[in-house]
Amino acid sequence: MTLQGLMLVALSALLTTLANLLLRAGILKHGGFSLAVDKVAMGLMGLLTQPQFVAGLFFYGLAAVVWFSVLANQDLSVSYPMLVGLTFVLVAVGAGVFFGESFSWQKILGIMIILYGIVMVARA
């Protein structure tokens, strides 16, 4: 993987993380979301009035555009595991910081294993 590819994967992971955190904040501010048939349409309409949710959708789209560049120029077998692993770690940390979600020793150990895996895949 090239340095530029690595930077683009990291940028896509950061944007995806920001998107997830904003979407969650918007959903929480809205009061939740349900997949019940009679509530989906109204729920989506309500979410689209939440600025944080809309910003999350925007950042997901921006992350996708960055990811398209990675897909065009880097090995998918290296890039995708790095993207998913890095995003997983960043979202877990962000959820702890911004939403007060707990960190058990198992979660911390799992994150450390994922980080090790990212390094191993990047060096492959």
- The string of pLDDT tens digits covering residues 28-84 is 998 877 777 777 777 788 888 899 999 999 999 999 999 999 999 999 989 998 899
When computed from its CA atoms, the radius of gyration of the chain, rounded to whole angstroms, is 16
Report the share of the chain in percent with pLDDT over 70.
99
Q: Is the pLDDT of residue 122 over 80?
A: no
Q: What is the largest CA-CA distance in the chain?
A: 50
Between 48 and 22, the more confident residue is 22
Q: What is the pLDDT of residue 30?
A: 86
* Listed residue (106, 73, 91) closest to 15, CA to CA: 91
Give the H/E segment covering residue 4. Answer: helix 3-30
74 CA to centre of own chain: 20
Q: In the chain, where do the E strands start and end? A: none
Give me the amino acid identity at 35: L
